[in-house]
A and B are shown apart, each in its own frame.
Chain A
């Protein structure tokens, strides 16, 4: 079994397991196949966590695998890892380039506004990293809103901007929304799941100026994330909640459905026999 198959099987497995116990399942898989740890950690989206940046007046920031190094997470506000890493670790720890850091700062500010507009609370964080190409960069835009510990809206937008040349930039956004709903501790009803979509869009940026390029990237990313989130939100409504409705209706009309299904099966069998 090749590594890809393992990887794919691991991904399939984690897709079908309980989303609330995704972290444990992931650790168990990594424990089973440590070689896949890096891939699994980067490909499996876990619920976001929140940390505070002491240098940024304990401003909260979101933590994911993209801003992690070792056991610490980098803060977008101060660009430091918390808990702080050793110097050696820091030297090896990833940090965005300066240009990208500037963009990261602007993106954090802009998406913070976005967060404030759409979420009316919560925490947002944007982390960028450089790619192989200078003009390309990747990043992650995180939003988290949790009214309670049990109910969470975690949206993880992993962006990947590639310059196709001639001023065209390809924006590839892989969005994962982890929704976990627990009405109350007493009630046993829980809704949790994750939805992942990937969209790509190309934008032309006719400027060579970095400032305008930053602004263009921010605007393109912003518009792209805005659209994707709206779509994803609609999909969640139709998927999660409509699915629950279907479940209720099926449970209620199970007898009818059974009878109908049996009749249909019987009819098909008879027709198949007639054709014989």
Chain B
């Protein structure tokens, strides 16, 4: 759209007409380029027809009403190309496009360069295409949106006709509508309103942002706001005020900087401006106060037509525009660049620029439309802008308005009805607004970006948390919180945020207690009494409770000291029994009393048991009846034991008497015998006798050997001893570890036996057995 506007702006200017004529003359003189001149005559002829024939009529119309300004934008949208009869629109477009053409001038572009570019080529092919093909129109604007715009125009015009019937405007739109738009679609707005969102979501275009402003929900708000503030008293433009606002914004934004200069400029010198102001004054009589600034811009634009050098002074005033460009980059980048667009930009901007810069320039141009686009908020900005004279004074209140009052209003209307895409568009719009405010108030940008994080600028519940400056926020937040449940995701986020804040508040209150069913009710009742009297009975609104706590953190700080008192009261009874034991003597007394009580209980029980035993009933404790009989038994036994001791003593005495005679008798017997009893001789068998005899012999032999050895020298003796030892070892008898005489004997015995065995030859049993029958020896042997 920005491109189309750019095409339209120079085309409609009177100044450009002159330049075109001059250029055409030049071209005719210089070159015979067929494509360039051919379209021009058509287009220029139209212009010339319009301009030449209808200039005066258009001027009259300008003087007559502001509605023509409204129609100018309608022409800007592209309807003028088809309508040759809209002379008035063309004239007004010329006035409007002056301003736009001067916008690059404000960016330090010289009028000469612009004129050259306009004259040379770019204007004409751009003008051709929309004439030749309606599809080209569709490229710039989606059909549906364009039709909607046309419908709105119709409606407005119809209303305007009612107010101020003018034969020129209605036929323009009627023709267009008769040509392109079916009648059925034109009549009902509301039917088409919901359908708008779909093509917008599909086609993100500059006019899309513009059309958002055209949304129906925004319009009634404007009415209300305007009615409240009385800043925009236009009655006939209330519904159609979007276009007016756009135009006014553009004018205001451009005129805001030159305003200090404008008064210096004698706008009254030009015939147009007083007329326009007069018209505005007339419009002001018709409650259009906003249009007043817009008209001086026109006048200013028309003054520029007369004085180009004066326009060179504008650029310092238009410095904020690059800010707008940045804001609109996102929207512009989403666009599909077309061949026409850079061409148009060339028309506007003579200097060679990169594609990005071109886009920026487009955004600059679009910013005019974008500035118009933010639907409701921008309207109020415009109001603020109108009210203020300087840019700084204008921008700051605009942001304030957006933060404080304006944004909450749109969510109520839009959020309920429309899709998220629309919300996103709002976000984009508000980003643009913030960028506008960015150079002077960067902090507010950050705040608004934080709002973007929550997917909706509408819900500014986090924003008040971020910005503590707004002291009056908690009160407006309450209804917002009530709106939260619509989007669950945001609810969770908000609740989490609030829960965190609520947790900070809750610990003194005692979170463990809400688990109990009764206590939370108490707490809720108390806190609700403190905070709000709403919804005290329902515990289901814990979310709201927590949110309220989160919101009223500072206010709720007073609550916690009260609550710990309750906790202390609750804990004291628990601590008392533990701590009081050493301190309180009453407990000891009570314990002693208890012990005392226990003893009589036992006694009483004994009595009872005795009674029970008497009654023949079985007692629980059988030990007690046993004790009583045991005592006499013990006594009896003790008596018996004494008696027995006495008896033992007697018996012991008797027994002592008895053994003595036994011993004496034995002694007597022993003494009497005096002769040892005869030991029975052992009968030794013959083999044993033989063995002993052999042993004795061996002993005697050893003694003899030793005796012999004594007589012999030592060496011989040693040899004999060694021989004896060798015999012992050789025979396999185990030598004793300790050479005792007894074993020595045994060894000797063994040696003797060995000697005897060795002496005896081997007995071959087989030698004495039967030899068998006589037989012949084997042949082998």
Residues of A within 8 A of B (CB): 7-8, 11-12, 15, 27, 30-31, 34, 37-39, 41-45, 65-66, 68-71, 89, 92-94, 129-131, 138, 140, 158-160, 172, 174, 176, 196-198, 260-261, 263-265, 267-269, 271-273, 275-276
- Asked if A160 meets B771 with Cβ closer than 8 Å, knowing A30-B781, A37-B781, A197-B765, the reply is no
Among A44, A92, A196, A268, max chain B CB count under 10 A is at: A268
The 6 closest A-B pairs by CB, nearest first: A94-B773, A272-B721, A264-B735, A138-B770, A42-B771, A174-B769
Q: What is the CB-to-nearest-CB distance from A129 to chain B, in angstroms, rounded to a whole number?
A: 4
Name the residue of chain B whose CB is nearest to the CB of A260: B737
B762 at the A interface (CB under 8 A): yes
Interface residues of B in 222-279 (CB under 8 A from A): none
Chosen A-B contacts, 20 in total, with CB atoms closer than 8 Å, are A37-B781, A41-B777, A41-B781, A42-B772, A43-B766, A43-B771, A44-B766, A65-B772, A69-B776, A70-B776, A70-B778, A93-B776, A174-B769, A198-B765, A260-B737, A268-B721, A269-B721, A272-B720, A275-B710, A276-B706
Q: A34-B781, A70-B775, A275-B710 are in contact. List 8 more A-B contacts (CB 8 A).
A: A65-B772, A92-B776, A174-B768, A264-B735, A264-B737, A271-B744, A272-B717, A273-B717
Residue contact B764 to A68, C-beta cutoff 8 Å: no
Cα(A30)–Cα(B772), bound, Å? 18
Q: What is the CB-to-nearest-CB distance from A69 to chain B, in angstroms, rounded to a whole number?
A: 5
Task: Name the one of B725, B735, B773 contacting A260, with C-beta atoms under 8 angstroms.
Answer: B735
Name the residue of chain B whose CB is nearest to the CB of A263: B737
Residue contact B766 to A129, C-beta cutoff 8 Å: no
Q: Chain B residues with Cβ under 8 A from A131's Cβ?
A: 770
Residue contact A160 to B769, C-beta cutoff 8 Å: yes
Task: Name the one of A68, A159, A176, A271 contacting B766, with C-beta atoms under 8 angstroms.
Answer: A176
Residue contact B706 to A275, C-beta cutoff 8 Å: yes
Residue contact B721 to A273, C-beta cutoff 8 Å: yes
Name the residue of chain B whose CB is nearest to the CB of A138: B770
B353 at the A interface (CB under 8 A): no
- Asked if A271 meets B739 with Cβ closer than 8 Å, knowing A12-B762, A198-B765, A276-B714, the reply is yes
Name the residue of chain B whose CB is nearest to the CB of A85: B776
Q: What is the CB-to-nearest-CB distance from B737 to chain A, in angstroms, rounded to a whole number?
A: 6
Among B709, B737, B771, max chain A CB count under 10 A is at: B771
B779 at the A interface (CB under 8 A): yes
B167 at the A interface (CB under 8 A): no
Name the residue of chain A whose CB is nearest to the CB of B761: A8
Residue contact B709 to A276, C-beta cutoff 8 Å: yes
B29 at the A interface (CB under 8 A): no
Q: Chain A residues with Cβ under 8 A from B774's Cβ?
A: 94
- Asked if A158 meets B769 with Cβ closer than 8 Å, knowing A43-B764, A267-B739, A269-B722, the reply is yes
Interface residues of B in 732-781 (CB under 8 A from A): 735-737, 739, 744, 761-762, 764-781
B729 at the A interface (CB under 8 A): yes
B718 at the A interface (CB under 8 A): yes
Among A41, A176, A264, max chain B CB count under 10 A is at: A264
Q: What is the CB-to-nearest-CB distance from A154 to chain B, in angstroms, rounded to a whole number?
A: 14
Q: Chain B residues with Cβ under 8 A from A267's Cβ?
A: 739
Residue contact B776 to A89, C-beta cutoff 8 Å: yes
Cα(A198)–Cα(B729), bound, Å? 30
Bin chain B's interface residue count.
35 or more
Task: Name the one of A8, A65, A172, A272 contacting B764, with C-beta atoms under 8 angstroms.
Answer: A8
Residue contact B725 to A265, C-beta cutoff 8 Å: yes
Q: What is the CB-to-nearest-CB distance from B713 to chain A, in angstroms, rounded to a whole number?
A: 10
Name the residue of chain B whose CB is nearest to the CB of A26: B781
Residue contact A71 to B780, C-beta cutoff 8 Å: yes
Q: Chain A residues with Cβ under 8 A from B710's Cβ?
A: 275-276
Q: Chain B residues with Cβ under 8 A from A197's Cβ?
A: 765
Q: Chain A residues with Cβ under 8 A from B764's Cβ?
A: 8, 11-12, 15, 43
Q: Chain B residues with Cβ under 8 A from A27's Cβ?
A: 780-781
Residue contact A31 to B736, C-beta cutoff 8 Å: no
Q: Chain B residues with Cβ under 8 A from A174's Cβ?
A: 765-766, 768-770
Q: Chain B residues with Cβ under 8 A from A276's Cβ?
A: 706, 709-710, 714, 717
Q: Chain A residues with Cβ under 8 A from B779's Cβ?
A: 70-71
Cα(A31)–Cα(B718), bound, Å? 47
Q: What is the CB-to-nearest-CB distance from B316 to chain A, in angstroms, rounded to a whole number?
A: 119
Residue contact A160 to B777, C-beta cutoff 8 Å: no
Residue contact A158 to B717, C-beta cutoff 8 Å: no
Residue contact B772 to A261, C-beta cutoff 8 Å: no
Among B744, B762, B771, B775, max chain A CB count under 10 A is at: B775
Q: Chain B residues with Cβ under 8 A from A159's Cβ?
A: 770
Return the CB mask of B79-96 against A: 1 if under 8 Å, else 0: 000000000000000000
Q: What is the CB-to-nearest-CB distance from A197 to chain B, in angstroms, rounded to a whole number?
A: 7
Residue contact B739 to A129, C-beta cutoff 8 Å: no
Cα(A269)–Cα(B776), bound, Å? 59
Q: Chain B residues with Cβ under 8 A from A44's Cβ?
A: 766
Residue contact B729 to A265, C-beta cutoff 8 Å: yes
Among A15, A71, A172, A276, max chain B CB count under 10 A is at: A276
Q: Chain A residues with Cβ under 8 A from B735's Cβ?
A: 260-261, 264-265, 268
Q: Chain B residues with Cβ under 8 A from A92's Cβ?
A: 776
Q: What is the CB-to-nearest-CB distance from A91 to chain B, in angstroms, rounded to a whole number?
A: 12
- Asked if A68 meets B775 with Cβ closer than 8 Å, knowing A174-B765, A264-B736, the reply is yes
- Asked if A31 meets B769 with Cβ closer than 8 Å, knowing A261-B729, A268-B721, A272-B721, the reply is no
Cα(A140)–Cα(B770), bound, Å? 9
Q: What is the CB-to-nearest-CB distance from B240 to chain A, in angstroms, rounded to a whole number?
A: 122
Cα(A44)–Cα(B764), bound, Å? 10
Residue contact A269 to B775, C-beta cutoff 8 Å: no
Q: Chain B residues with Cβ under 8 A from A196's Cβ?
A: 765-766
Q: What is the CB-to-nearest-CB distance from B315 to chain A, in angstroms, rounded to a whole number?
A: 118
Name the residue of chain A whose CB is nearest to the CB of B721: A272
Q: Chain A residues with Cβ under 8 A from B768's Cβ?
A: 174, 198
Q: Chain B residues with Cβ under 8 A from A7's Cβ?
A: 767
Q: Chain A residues with Cβ under 8 A from B773's Cβ?
A: 66, 94, 129-130
Name the residue of chain B whose CB is nearest to the CB of A42: B771
Cα(A129)–Cα(B728), bound, Å? 47
Cα(A68)–Cα(B714), bound, Å? 63
Residue contact B767 to A38, C-beta cutoff 8 Å: no
Cα(A172)–Cα(B736), bound, Å? 41
Q: Chain B residues with Cβ under 8 A from A198's Cβ?
A: 765, 768-769
Residue contact A66 to B772, C-beta cutoff 8 Å: yes
Q: Chain B residues with Cβ under 8 A from A12's Cβ?
A: 762, 764
Cα(A30)–Cα(B781), bound, Å? 7
Cα(A172)–Cα(B769), bound, Å? 8
Q: What is the CB-to-nearest-CB distance from A194 to chain B, in angstroms, rounded to a whole number?
A: 10
Name the residue of chain A whose CB is nearest to the CB of B737: A260
Q: Chain B residues with Cβ under 8 A from A39's Cβ?
A: 771
Q: What is the CB-to-nearest-CB distance from A275 to chain B, in angstroms, rounded to a whole number?
A: 6
Q: What is the CB-to-nearest-CB distance from B628 to chain A, in angstroms, rounded to a whole number?
A: 76
Interface residues of B in 575-597 (CB under 8 A from A): none
Cα(A268)–Cα(B766), bound, Å? 41
Q: Chain B residues with Cβ under 8 A from A275's Cβ?
A: 706, 710
Q: Chain B residues with Cβ under 8 A from A42's Cβ?
A: 771-772
Q: Chain B residues with Cβ under 8 A from A93's Cβ?
A: 775-776
Q: Chain A residues with Cβ under 8 A from B718's Cβ?
A: 269, 272-273
Among B729, B769, B777, max chain A CB count under 10 A is at: B769
Residue contact B770 to A160, C-beta cutoff 8 Å: yes
Name the residue of chain A whose CB is nearest to the CB of B770: A138
Cα(A65)–Cα(B769), bound, Å? 13
Q: Chain B residues with Cβ under 8 A from A260's Cβ?
A: 735, 737
Cα(A65)–Cα(B776), bound, Å? 10
- Asked if A264 meets B739 with Cβ closer than 8 Å, knowing A65-B772, A272-B717, A276-B714, the reply is yes
Cα(A92)–Cα(B775), bound, Å? 8
Q: Chain B residues with Cβ under 8 A from A68's Cβ?
A: 775, 778
Q: Chain A residues with Cβ under 8 A from B709's Cβ?
A: 276
- Asked if A37 meets B765 with Cβ closer than 8 Å, knowing A43-B771, A260-B737, the reply is no
Cα(A92)–Cα(B720), bound, Å? 61
Residue contact B772 to A129, C-beta cutoff 8 Å: yes
Q: What is the CB-to-nearest-CB distance from B460 to chain A, in angstroms, rounded to a whole number?
A: 102
- Asked if A69 meets B770 with Cβ closer than 8 Å, knowing A8-B762, A273-B721, the reply is no
